[in-house]
């Protein structure tokens, strides 16, 4: 196969202040499907079009924010190889293995903390439960979408945007150790030689994760979920307003990745995005550069300026 190594973002584990309002948001408004709860009170959910058992993990805690993000790799052999490579890189701390079954229906995970302070995990195995579209059996003669979808109902958990200080170290790790490429970058400084934002891809997507340089460790800006069209982004805005969800900005368009977007907050203040569009990334695509003078349209192409909340509000 051509797409190897790290395949995609597999899960994001979020801390929420109160589990019930969070569940109403993620299940009824965003429209994820609950697939499991465990004896720690964690709730596991998947988007309708995801085949693996879960992609979002919610845990009630005293603080909002992200516990960790997980990446699915193509095989147990790749998992072991990348664990060795990460250790040899010297770029990460707190390396260790999480045993199989700690997440339901999931094999062992290799956990590490990256230079920007975020906890990341790699795993190779998770039970396939399918997308419930098959008409004559799983994956057999499928319908284009299943019955009974709720809320916004995105196809999948797509990416995260994260804030941290050592952007150079994290970009080096993702590109030189984990096989990602830089799809787009935001450059500042006298000769536009100082990277302040990096949009990284391990696949055909315009980004699988993005990092922005801020003097913080391990902060969470948003988790994003994929929709199929601009009209669905607009409808998401309708659903958010109908449910009195706190909207940050949108619907609008990003310059970076060209995505059509709306941002909003879950009941604990963790930012979510649903988006559509973008382009196909290939490893030989020239890197797109945005300069700081054009940061406004880079982030919000129509307004051509940032809303301050986008920069300064994170969990």
Partner 1 sequence: MSGQVRLHQVGIPDTGESFCCPADMAVLEAMERASCKGIPVGCRNGGCGACKVQVRSGEYVRRKMSRAVLSPAEAAEGLALACRIYPLSDLQVTAVNPDAIAASVRKDVPNGFGSVAASVCTQPDEEK
Residues belonging to the active site: 159, 207, 222, 254, 263, 273
Contact of 151 with 29, CB cutoff 8 Å = yes
Q: Which is nearer to partner 1, 188 or 234 (CB)?
A: 188
Where do we find the tokens 């406004």? 296
Q: Which is nearer to partner 1, 54 or 221 (CB)?
A: 221
Q: Which is nearer to partner 1, 14 or 153 (CB)?
A: 14
Q: Which of 60, 55, 17, 18 is nearest to 36 (CA)?
A: 55
3-state secondary structure of 276: strand
- Residues in the chain, overall count: 315
- Minimum distance between the CB of residue 137 and partner 1, rounded to whole angstroms? 42
Q: Which is nearer to partner 1, 217 or 258 (CB)?
A: 217
The b-or-e profile of 156-173 (16+ CB within 10 A means b, else e) is: bbbbbbbbbbbbebbbeb
- Minimum distance between the CB of residue 228 and partner 1, rounded to whole angstroms? 27
Interacting residues with partner 1 (CB under 8 A): 17-18, 62-65, 186, 188-189, 194, 196-197, 212-215, 246, 248, 265-271, 292-293, 295-296, 305-306, 308-309, 311-315
- Minimum distance between the CB of residue 127 and partner 1, rounded to whole angstroms? 32
DSSP 287: P
Q: Which of 28, 19, 65, 16 is nearest to 245 (CA)?
A: 28
- Minimum distance between the CB of residue 298 and partner 1, rounded to whole angstroms? 10
Q: What is the DSSP string of 24-64?
A: IIIIIIS--EEEEE-TT--EEEE-TT--BS-SEEEEE-SS-
């Amino acid at each position: 196969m051509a797409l190897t190594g790290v395949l995609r973002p597999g899960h994001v584990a979020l801390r929420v202040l109160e589990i019930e309002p969070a569940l109403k948001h993620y299940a009824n408004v965003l429209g994820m499907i609950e697939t499991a709860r465990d004896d720690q009170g964690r709730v596991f959910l998947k988007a309708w079009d995801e085949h693996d058992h879960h992609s979002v993990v919610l845990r009630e805690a005293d603080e909002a924010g992200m516990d960790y993000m997980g990446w699915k790799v193509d095989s147990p052999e790749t998992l072991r190889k990348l664990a060795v490579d990460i250790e040899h890189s010297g770029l990460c701390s707190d390396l260790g293995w999480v045993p199989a079954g700690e997440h339901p229906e999931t094999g062992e995970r290799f956990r590490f903390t990256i230079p920007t302070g975020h906890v990341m995990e790699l795993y190779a195995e998770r039970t396939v439960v399918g997308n419930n579209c098959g008409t004559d059996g799983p994956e057999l003669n499928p319908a284009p979408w299943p019955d009974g979808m709720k809320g916004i109902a995105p196809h999948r958990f797509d990416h995260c945007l994260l804030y941290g200080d050592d952007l150079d170290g994290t970009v080096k790790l993702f590109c030189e150790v984990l096989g990602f490429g830089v799809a787009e970058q935001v450059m500042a400084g006298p000769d536009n030689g100082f990277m302040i934002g990096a949009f990284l891809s391990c696949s055909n997507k315009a980004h699988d994760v993005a990092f922005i340089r801020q003097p913080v460790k391990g902060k969470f800006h948003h988790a994003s979920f994929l929709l199929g069209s601009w009209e669905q982004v607009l409808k998401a805005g309708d659903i958010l307003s109908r449910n009195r969800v706190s909207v940050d900005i949108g619907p609008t368009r990003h310059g970076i990745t060209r995505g059509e977007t709306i941002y909003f907050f879950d009941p604990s203040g963790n930012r979510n995005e649903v988006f559509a569009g973008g382009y196909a990334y290939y490893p030989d695509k020239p890197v797109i550069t945005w300069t700081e003078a054009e940061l406004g349209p880079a982030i919000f192409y129509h307004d051509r300026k940032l809303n301050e909340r986008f920069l300064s509000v994170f969990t």
